[in-house]
Amino acid sequence: MRRVMVALISAIVIGLLLVPSGASALTTMVVQDSVGDVGIAIDMKTGTIRDTLSPEVPLVKAGYFDMVSVWLSQKGKTYTFGMELAVALPKEGTPLPNPAKLAQWELWIDPVPYIIDPSPAVGMIALRYDGSSYSAFVCDWATKVETPIPFSIDGSKLQLQFTAAQLNNAVISWWVPLVEIYVGPLGTWASGFVDAVDLGAAPGQVGFDLPWPPV
């Protein structure tokens, strides 16, 4: 049986690239995540994963629910969010493994770290796959309105681009990368987070919330 890798402290690379005068600076933060830590009981209130699945479980064997790294970059009021997964994302038309009916690779924007104050999120940015096709959107959490956004998939990597205006120009202070599956219809509570970044993966991290801009 493949041993589950557990790392309380992962490497983090933070890049701040300055461009010529008159143009916006580009800020990028990259955070690494352990492989083999797909779980079914991620507790956002305590910032812990209670149960890690066996490597033989279909959700783990699929590989594309397991984050390897995540990144967020900002240039002016435009953001790019990305993930690298353990294996390539499924081709359109490929069924998801049981019990998943739908999957989302997500970025949540929190006003404060969730384990300090479980206030409603500012918004969620996600790539969605329903076993037939992909779509990407920004969801304003106050209205639940979903706005389509550009996305790209390159093997095991995905990237989503969004703007501050699509979040009502809210200030981004905390970001939370997650992988979520639905075992029931979209819009129900029949869903669960199956991967999150390692605890202690980045300076300034509180629970699963990562600081923005980078510390």
Instruction: List the domain boundaries for the chain.
Output: 12-211
Q: What angle do CA 136, 210, 5 make, to 5 degrees?
A: 90
pLDDT class for 75, splitting at 50, 70, 90? very high
What pLDDT score was predicted for residue 39? Answer: 87
Taking Cα atoms as reference points, which of 92, 88, 106 lies closest to residue 134?
92
Does residue 80 have a pLDDT over 90? yes
pLDDT at site 94: 97
The pLDDT value recorded for residue 19 is: 37
Nearest to 123 by CA among 80, 84, 169, 157: 169
What value does the mean pLDDT take over residues 69-79?
A: 97
Average pLDDT over residues 2-22: 33
The radius of gyration of the chain's CA atoms, rounded to the nearest angstrom, is 17
Q: How far apart are CA 8 and CA 200, in angstroms?
A: 6
Q: Is 132 left (phi over 0), alpha (psi -120 to 50) or beta?
A: alpha
> pTM for the complete prediction?
0.86
Give Cα separations from 177 to 68, 92, 127, 132, 196 (angstroms). 11, 23, 12, 23, 6
- pLDDT at residue 51, rounded to an integer: 78
Just give the CATH number of 12-211.
Answer: 2.60.40
7 has a pLDDT exceeding 60: no
Report residue 149's pLDDT band, with 50, 70 and 90 as the boundaries: very high
Mean pLDDT of 162-166: 94
Sort 163 into a burial class: Cβ within 10 Å, 0-12 / 13-18 / 19+. middle
**Residues shown for the chain:** 215
Looking at residue 172, what DSSP letter applies? P
- Region 147-171: mean pLDDT is 95
56 against 3, higher pLDDT: 56
Mean pLDDT, rounded, of the chain? 87
Ranking 14-23, 125-134, 162-171, 193-202 by mean pLDDT, the lowest is: 14-23
Place 8 in a pLDDT band, splitting at 50, 70 and 90: very low
- pLDDT-wise least confident of 81-85, 105-109, 186-190: 186-190
Q: In this structure, how many other beta carbons lie within 10 angstroms of the beta carbon of residue 88?
A: 13
* 89-135 pLDDT, tens digit each: 999 999 999 999 999 999 999 999 999 999 899 999 999 999 999 99
Taking residues 178-196, report their average pLDDT. Answer: 87
Checking if the pLDDT of 10 tops 50, the result is no
Confidence of residue 23 (pLDDT cuts 50, 70, 90): low
Give the DSSP H or E segment for 60.
Answer: helix 58-62
